[in-house]
Amino acid sequence: MNKVLIESIQASDGRYLSDIELRPLAQFVASYETRFTTYAVLKEKSETLVLGSLRRLMQTSHRKVITEHGSKCQRDMLYTLQCIAQAIILDDSQGFIEEYVLWMQNITRALHKESSAIDAYRALQQEVSATFPAEGSLLINNHLDKLIDAFSRGL
C-alpha cells in the first residue's frame, strides 16, 4: 500500500484513525480496479510496448543508438515498466520517484544519454496511449512524465 496510509497506521499508536487519515485508504480502494486492470495489461503487453517504441526510434536520429544498444534499451525499458506497474498497484508514485527515477536519472546523466532516453520514453508513451484505455494510459504516462522530466530538468 502507499506510504501515506502506512505512515498513518503506524502513527495511530493504539487509537482509531480519523476520517482525514482514512482518506488515502478510501482512495486506494476506490482506484483499485483501474490500477489492477492497468497492472495486468501492462504485465501482459510490456514487451510489445517496448518493441514498438524501439521500432519508432529506429526511424529517428537515434537509429545508431538502437542498433548498437538496442538490447540494453529494451532491458531498461522493460524494467521501467515493471517499476511503474509496481507503483501503480501499490498506488505509490512517490516511491517510484525515490526508488527508481532518481537512480535512472543518475545513470542516464553519467552516460550522457538524456536525449535518447527522453525520445525513447516519449515513444513508449505513444505506444501506451495507443494500447491502453484512457485511465490506464494516464496512470502509466504520468509515471513516464516524471521520468522524462528527471532526464530533461532533473529532480
Structural domains of the chain, ranges and CATH numbers in brackets: 1-30 (no CATH), 32-152 (1.10.490.20)
The 10s digit of each residue's pLDDT in 4-42 is 777 778 888 888 888 888 888 888 899 999 999 999 999
The 10s digit of each residue's pLDDT in 73-118 is 999 999 999 999 999 999 999 999 999 999 999 999 998 889 889 9
| DSSP for the chain, written as a single string | --HHHHHHHHHTTTSPPPHHHHHHHHHHHHTHHHHHHHHHHHHHHHHHHHHHHHHHHHTSTTHHHHHHHHHHHHHHHHHHHHHHHHHHHHT-HHHHIIIIIHHHHHHHHHTT-HHHHHHHHHHHHHHHHHHS-HHHHHHHHHHHHHHHHHHHT--
Percentage of residues of the chain with pLDDT beyond 70 = 97
